[in-house]
A = this chain, B = another copy of it.
Amino acid sequence: MKTRDKIIQASIELFNEQGERNVTTNHIAAHLAISPGNLYYHFRNKEDIILSIYEEYARSLLLETLSKVPEEDKPLDALVLYMDSVFQTTMKFRFFYSNLPVLLDKNPSLREKYVEVQQSISERVSHLLISLRAAEIIDFPDDSLADIVSILRLINTFWVSFYQTQTIVNEVNDSVFYQGVLKILVILRPYTKEHAIDELNKACEFYQQRYQEAVEAVPA
């Protein structure tokens, strides 16, 4: 791996484990056993590392998922898998989402890229919800679409942060991620048409199962 990529990977790891605010460029350099000068050759400062993490990793992951998710012959699966992918990104870069308004305020270039990605996600989620309605799996009035999209995105963005603030011990593992996807299904349930409830229940059971497995995989 190139030094630049090593710095990015180590930063993601340290930021997630110790909190971005507690990690300095000196910590990152020491962790990699490189000189601070070597780090500064690649990045001007910590903000520059965070911008690169978002630009090269999170952003490309989020935009790639736009094309990776299967076509809408199974529109419920398509929406759930898409939400699943977005949640994976918030898990992988959770340091970023845990003080998102603060990081965006500090860095206008980061904000610009973030807002652009959010707009793509909004469009994609709207499109997926409209497909679900066209397939008569869910129903909702036109004037609720924008609100439902906002709520789904809000849950996507802040579920991991919310979870981290609900207990005395802040520990995140894969079970948190599956709980997040299940919340999306909770939102969809009351809009689901009766004949499609079985399909929704199947998706719930799938994620319940993954959730249980993840809980059991955590050492006591």
* A183 and B98 form a contact (CB under 8 A): no
| Residue A148 is within 8 A (CB to CB) of chain B in the complex | yes
Residues in B with CB closer than 8 Å to A73 are none
In-complex Cβ contact of A99 among B102, B112, B168, B189 (8 A): B102
* B102 and A21 form a contact (CB under 8 A): yes
* A112 and B168 form a contact (CB under 8 A): yes
**Per-position binary interface string of chain A over residues 91-116, scored 1 when its CB falls under 8 Å from any chain B CB and 0 otherwise:** 00000001111101110000110110
Interface residues of A in 121-180 (CB under 8 A from B): 140, 144, 147-148, 150-151, 153-155, 157-159, 161-162, 164-168, 170
* B115 and A161 form a contact (CB under 8 A): no
* A151 and B158 form a contact (CB under 8 A): no
Q: How large is the interface on A (under 10, 10 to 19, 20 to 34, 35 or more residues)?
A: 35 or more
* A154 and B147 form a contact (CB under 8 A): no
In-complex Cβ contact of A170 among B20, B105, B118, B167 (8 A): B105
CA distance A9 to B155 in the complex (A): 32
Given A144-B189, A151-B186, A183-B150 in contact, is the A168-B102 Cβ separation under 8 Å?
A: no
* B114 and A19 form a contact (CB under 8 A): no
Q: Copies per complex? A: 2
Given A144-B189, A151-B183, A154-B159 in contact, is the A165-B99 Cβ separation under 8 Å?
A: no
In-complex Cβ contact of A151 among B99, B144, B155 (8 A): B155
* B158 and A162 form a contact (CB under 8 A): yes
Interface residues of A in 48-103 (CB under 8 A from B): 98-102
Residues in B with CB closer than 8 Å to A206 are none
* B154 and A111 form a contact (CB under 8 A): no
By a beta-carbon cutoff of 8 Å, the part of chain A in contact with chain B is 19-21, 98-102, 104-106, 111-112, 114-115, 118, 140, 144, 147-148, 150-151, 153-155, 157-159, 161-162, 164-168, 170, 182-183, 186-187, 189-191
User: Which 4 pairs across A and B sit closest by C-beta, in order of nearness?
Assistant: A99-B99, A190-B190, A98-B101, A158-B158
